[in-house]
Amino acid sequence: MQKGTTKNIAYFGLLIALNVILTRVGSIRIGGGGTEIVRIGFGGYPVIFAGIVFGPLGGGVVGAIGDLIGMIISPMGPYMPHFTLSAALTGVIPGLIMLMFKDTKSRTSFWKLLLAIAIGQITTSVFMTPYFMERLFSISMVTTVPGRAITQAIQVPLYAYITKVLLQRLPLIWETN
C-alpha cells in the first residue's frame, strides 16, 4: 500500500462516507435496552473492500474512522471502543488474508475473496460483536449469534461476488496499490 498518497486519502474518504451512510442511514436498526441489538444493512462492505484493496492498514483506518464518525452523527447508545475495534478488524482481517495470496490474479479469485471475507465476518460480526453485547449490555449471545450467522451466510458470498466484479471492472484502483 502506498501510504498517504492524495489518491488513497480520497478513496479512504469515499469509503468512510459510504460506510457511515450505509451503516447509519441505509440500515434497518432495531434497538432495545438503550442500545442497538440488530442492524440489517451493507455498511460493513466499504470497510471490507478497503481492507482487500488497500491492505489491512487501510481497512482498519476506514473501519475505525467510519465507526467514530457514525457514532458522532447518529449514536445508538453509549460509545464503546469495543465496537470500534470490531469495525477496524472488519477491514484488517480480510486485508491480512489477501496479503497471503501474493499474485495479483488471486485478488480477483471468488474463492479466495470468499475465504478472506468469511473469516473476517465470522470473527467480527458473528462472534466479537455478540460477545461484546453480552459483556456490556447483558444481551445473550444465544439470542444474537444465530441471526448474525444467517445474515453472514447471505452477505459473505454477495460481498465476495461484488468485490470480484468491482476489481475486474476497476483495475486502476488496486493495480497501483
Count Cα neighbours of 18 within 13 Å in the Cβ-side half-sphere: 15
Distance, in Å, from the CA atom of 132 to the CA atom of 5, rounded to the nearest integer, reads 35
Question: Domain boundaries in the chain?
Answer: 6-175
Assigned architecture for domain 6-175: Orthogonal Bundle (1.10)
Average pLDDT, the chain: 87
pLDDT per residue over 71-127, tens digit each? 999 887 788 999 999 999 999 999 999 999 876 666 778 999 999 999 999 999 999
pLDDT per residue over 31-52, tens digit each? 665 555 566 788 899 999 999 9
